[in-house]
Protein backbone atom coordinates (compact mmCIF):
# COMPACT_ATOMS: atom_id res chain seq x y z
CA UNK A 1 0.00 0.00 0.00
CA UNK A 2 1.46 3.40 -0.88
CA UNK A 3 2.00 6.18 1.63
CA UNK A 4 -0.85 8.36 0.34
CA UNK A 5 -3.29 5.48 0.86
CA UNK A 6 -2.16 5.12 4.48
CA UNK A 7 -3.01 8.77 5.15
CA UNK A 8 -6.44 8.35 3.50
CA UNK A 9 -7.26 5.23 5.51
CA UNK A 10 -6.41 6.94 8.78
CA UNK A 11 -8.46 10.02 7.97
CA UNK A 12 -11.33 7.66 7.09
CA UNK A 13 -11.17 6.33 10.64
CA UNK A 14 -11.85 9.82 12.00
CA UNK A 15 -14.80 10.12 9.64
CA UNK A 16 -16.18 6.80 10.85
CA UNK A 17 -15.94 8.09 14.43
CA UNK A 18 -18.16 11.02 13.56
CA UNK A 19 -20.56 8.90 11.53
CA UNK A 20 -20.88 6.60 14.51
CA UNK A 21 -21.73 9.55 16.71
CA UNK A 22 -24.52 10.56 14.36
CA UNK A 23 -25.87 7.05 13.95
CA UNK A 24 -26.07 6.71 17.73
CA UNK A 25 -25.56 2.99 17.58
CA UNK A 26 -26.16 1.16 20.83
CA UNK A 27 -23.34 -1.31 20.20
CA UNK A 28 -20.50 1.16 20.78
CA UNK A 29 -20.17 3.88 23.36
CA UNK A 30 -18.80 7.34 22.75
CA UNK A 31 -17.14 8.59 25.92
CA UNK A 32 -16.76 12.30 26.61
CA UNK A 33 -14.52 13.55 29.43
CA UNK A 34 -14.04 17.17 30.44
CA UNK A 35 -10.66 17.27 32.17
CA UNK A 36 -8.93 19.93 34.24
CA UNK A 37 -11.99 22.00 35.16
CA UNK A 38 -12.13 23.17 38.78
CA UNK A 39 -15.09 21.95 40.78
CA UNK A 40 -18.10 24.28 40.53
CA UNK A 41 -17.05 25.80 37.15
CA UNK A 42 -19.47 25.34 34.23
CA UNK A 43 -17.79 23.49 31.37
CA UNK A 44 -20.62 22.36 29.12
CA UNK A 45 -24.24 21.42 28.68
CA UNK A 46 -26.93 19.72 26.65
CA UNK A 47 -29.88 21.63 25.21
CA UNK A 48 -32.90 19.30 25.28
CA UNK A 49 -34.86 21.34 22.72
CA UNK A 50 -32.16 21.49 20.06
CA UNK A 51 -30.38 18.29 21.12
CA UNK A 52 -27.07 20.12 21.08
CA UNK A 53 -24.15 19.12 23.29
CA UNK A 54 -21.48 21.73 23.95
CA UNK A 55 -18.36 21.84 26.06
CA UNK A 56 -16.11 24.90 26.28
CA UNK A 57 -12.97 24.89 28.39
CA UNK A 58 -11.02 27.33 26.22
CA UNK A 59 -10.72 29.88 29.05
CA UNK A 60 -9.51 27.36 31.65
CA UNK A 61 -5.77 26.84 31.63
CA UNK A 62 -4.80 23.19 31.16
CA UNK A 63 -8.39 22.00 30.62
CA UNK A 64 -9.51 20.00 27.60
CA UNK A 65 -12.29 17.81 26.26
CA UNK A 66 -11.52 14.21 25.33
CA UNK A 67 -13.83 12.15 23.11
CA UNK A 68 -13.12 8.42 22.83
CA UNK A 69 -14.71 6.13 20.26
CA UNK A 70 -13.28 2.63 19.82
CA UNK A 71 -9.54 3.22 19.31
CA UNK A 72 -9.86 6.88 18.24
CA UNK A 73 -9.31 9.70 20.73
CA UNK A 74 -10.14 13.33 19.89
CA UNK A 75 -8.99 16.24 22.06
CA UNK A 76 -10.03 19.89 21.88
CA UNK A 77 -11.04 22.89 23.94
CA UNK A 78 -14.46 23.45 22.41
CA UNK A 79 -16.86 20.75 21.21
CA UNK A 80 -20.32 21.13 19.71
CA UNK A 81 -22.40 18.21 18.52
CA UNK A 82 -25.76 19.11 16.99
CA UNK A 83 -27.56 15.81 16.75
CA UNK A 84 -30.49 17.21 14.72
CA UNK A 85 -28.12 18.74 12.15
CA UNK A 86 -25.74 15.76 12.11
CA UNK A 87 -22.86 18.16 12.74
CA UNK A 88 -19.77 17.84 14.93
CA UNK A 89 -17.29 20.67 15.58
CA UNK A 90 -14.07 20.46 17.60
CA UNK A 91 -11.78 23.51 17.96
CA UNK A 92 -8.85 24.70 20.03
CA UNK A 93 -5.65 22.65 19.97
CA UNK A 94 -7.40 19.82 18.15
CA UNK A 95 -5.64 16.49 18.34
CA UNK A 96 -6.92 13.24 16.84
CA UNK A 97 -5.06 10.09 17.85
CA UNK A 98 -5.42 6.65 16.34
CA UNK A 99 -3.01 3.70 16.45
CA UNK A 100 -0.82 4.76 13.49
CA UNK A 101 -1.98 8.35 12.98
CA UNK A 102 -1.87 11.73 14.64
CA UNK A 103 -3.79 14.72 13.28
CA UNK A 104 -3.35 18.16 14.84
CA UNK A 105 -4.91 21.46 13.85
CA UNK A 106 -7.11 24.34 14.88
CA UNK A 107 -10.51 22.94 13.89
CA UNK A 108 -12.29 19.81 12.62
CA UNK A 109 -15.90 19.78 11.38
CA UNK A 110 -17.85 16.72 10.31
CA UNK A 111 -21.16 16.71 8.44
CA UNK A 112 -22.42 13.18 9.04
CA UNK A 113 -25.21 13.07 6.42
CA UNK A 114 -22.85 14.31 3.72
CA UNK A 115 -20.00 12.18 5.06
CA UNK A 116 -17.79 15.24 4.71
CA UNK A 117 -15.02 16.32 7.07
CA UNK A 118 -13.27 19.68 6.96
CA UNK A 119 -10.11 20.31 8.91
CA UNK A 120 -8.58 23.77 9.01
CA UNK A 121 -5.79 25.82 10.47
CA UNK A 122 -2.25 24.56 10.95
CA UNK A 123 -3.11 20.99 9.95
CA UNK A 124 -0.55 18.26 10.34
CA UNK A 125 -1.26 14.59 9.66
CA UNK A 126 1.48 12.19 10.76
CA UNK A 127 1.62 8.47 10.00
CA UNK A 128 4.44 5.94 10.14
CA UNK A 129 5.18 6.63 6.45
CA UNK A 130 4.26 10.25 5.76
CA UNK A 131 3.63 13.72 7.12
CA UNK A 132 1.23 16.17 5.45
CA UNK A 133 0.89 19.84 6.38
CA UNK A 134 -1.87 22.08 4.99
CA UNK A 135 -4.11 25.03 5.83
CA UNK A 136 -7.26 23.07 4.97
CA UNK A 137 -8.37 19.50 4.32
CA UNK A 138 -11.68 18.34 2.85
CA UNK A 139 -12.51 14.67 3.07
CA UNK A 140 -15.41 13.21 1.10
CA UNK A 141 -15.99 9.67 2.30
CA UNK A 142 -18.40 8.66 -0.49
CA UNK A 143 -15.74 9.54 -3.08
CA UNK A 144 -12.82 8.20 -1.00
CA UNK A 145 -11.11 11.51 -1.70
CA UNK A 146 -9.11 13.96 0.41
CA UNK A 147 -8.25 17.45 -0.82
CA UNK A 148 -5.36 19.15 0.96
CA UNK A 149 -5.49 22.88 0.21
CA UNK A 150 -3.20 25.88 0.62
CA UNK A 151 0.43 25.69 1.67
CA UNK A 152 0.53 21.91 1.30
CA UNK A 153 3.68 19.95 2.07
CA UNK A 154 3.85 16.17 1.78
CA UNK A 155 6.94 14.50 3.19
CA UNK A 156 7.81 10.83 2.80
CA UNK A 157 11.09 9.04 3.42
CA UNK A 158 12.56 9.84 0.01
CA UNK A 159 10.66 12.94 -1.16
CA UNK A 160 9.16 16.26 -0.18
CA UNK A 161 6.39 17.82 -2.29
CA UNK A 162 5.01 21.36 -2.13
CA UNK A 163 1.88 22.89 -3.68
CA UNK A 164 -1.45 24.57 -3.17
CA UNK A 165 -3.79 21.65 -3.91
CA UNK A 166 -3.06 17.96 -3.58
CA UNK A 167 -5.75 15.30 -3.98
CA UNK A 168 -5.42 11.83 -2.51
CA UNK A 169 -7.61 9.13 -4.04
CA UNK A 170 -7.71 6.08 -1.81
CA UNK A 171 -9.22 3.52 -4.19
CA UNK A 172 -6.67 4.33 -6.87
CA UNK A 173 -3.81 4.64 -4.32
CA UNK A 174 -2.98 7.85 -6.14
CA UNK A 175 -1.95 11.40 -5.34
CA UNK A 176 -2.82 14.16 -7.81
CA UNK A 177 -1.27 17.62 -7.96
CA UNK A 178 -3.68 20.39 -8.98
CA UNK A 179 -1.98 23.50 -10.26
CA UNK A 180 1.69 24.27 -9.77
CA UNK A 181 3.83 22.19 -7.42
CA UNK A 182 7.44 21.35 -6.86
CA UNK A 183 9.17 18.35 -5.41
CA UNK A 184 12.48 17.22 -4.02
CA UNK A 185 13.27 13.56 -4.60
CA UNK A 186 16.31 11.81 -3.13
CA UNK A 187 18.25 9.55 -5.43
CA UNK A 188 18.77 5.95 -4.44
CA UNK A 189 22.51 5.51 -4.20
CA UNK A 190 24.02 2.10 -4.96
CA UNK A 191 26.03 0.79 -2.04
Is a pLDDT exceeding 70 seen at residue 52?
Answer: yes
**Assigned domain for 130 exists:** yes
> What is d(CA 126, CA 104) in angstroms, rounded to the nearest whole number?
9
Rounded average pLDDT over 163-176: 84
> What is d(CA 189, CA 129) in angstroms, rounded to the nearest whole number?
20
Is a pLDDT exceeding 90 seen at residue 19?
Answer: no
The whole domain housing 26 covers 3-36+43-185
Confidence category of residue 169, pLDDT binned at 50, 70, 90: confident
**Beta strand residue intervals within 14-129, DSSP E:** 30-35, 44-47, 52-56, 64-69, 72-76, 78-82, 87-98, 101-111, 116-127
**Assigned domain for 75 exists:** yes
**Assigned domain for 191 exists:** no
| Inter-residue contact 132 to 148 (CB < 8 Å) | yes
- Domain CATH for 137: 2.60.450.10
Confidence category of residue 153, pLDDT binned at 50, 70, 90: very high
Number of independent structural domains in the chain? 1
C-alpha to C-alpha distances, 47 to 53, 55, 84, 170, nearest whole angstrom: 7, 12, 11, 38
Helix (H, G, I), strand (E, B) or coil at 8: helix
Helices (H) and strands (E) in the chain, counts: 1, 14
Least confident of 18-22, 141-145, 161-165, 187-191: 18-22
| Inter-residue contact 110 to 126 (CB < 8 Å) | no
| Inter-residue contact 148 to 139 (CB < 8 Å) | no
**Assigned domain for 101 exists:** yes
| Inter-residue contact 128 to 98 (CB < 8 Å) | no
**Assigned domain for 190 exists:** no
Q: What pTM did the predictor assign?
A: 0.77
Amino acid sequence: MNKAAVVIILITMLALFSAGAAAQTNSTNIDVDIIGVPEGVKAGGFNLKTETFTADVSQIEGAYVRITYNDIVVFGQFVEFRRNDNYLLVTGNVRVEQADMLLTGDQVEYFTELEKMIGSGNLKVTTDDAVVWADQMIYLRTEDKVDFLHNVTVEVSDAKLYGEHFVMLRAEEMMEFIGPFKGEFRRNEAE
